[in-house]
Amino acid sequence: MMVLSFLLFFLGMSVLFRKNAHLMSIFIGIEMAGLGVIFLSTFSLSHNVWLIFLIVCLGICEASLCLALLVMVMRLCGNDLVKNLSLM
């Protein structure tokens, strides 16, 4: 299971650092990396439940901020292309 968490993390990072045209693909890469960190923390920090809850809460806040940013960009530009962010 730890291999799965490392795989999710590095797959998310590879999606994040690849040349992406859309914001949604960048946010999906961030979420995959966050999911890998959550899986990894459940194995390594199994005795410290509060720290796991903190990591999950930070992931939820990050997801809501990404969604709000995506909605704002979609309303301003009409699409989620990264090249349009330099025009804002």
- pTM of structure: 0.81
Q: Enumerate domains of the chain plus CATH numbers.
A: 2-87 (1.10.287.3510)
SS3 content of the chain, % helix, strand, coil (to 5): 85, 0, 15
How far is the C-alpha of 25 from the C-alpha of 28, rounded, in Å?
Answer: 5
Would you give per-residue pLDDT tens digits along the chain (88 residues)?
788 889 989 999 998 888 888 888 999 999 999 889 888 888 887 778 888 888 889 989 999 999 999 999 889 888 888 887 776 5
CA-nearest of 43, 38, 32 to 10 is 32
- How far apart are alpha carbons 80 and 76 in whole angstroms? 10
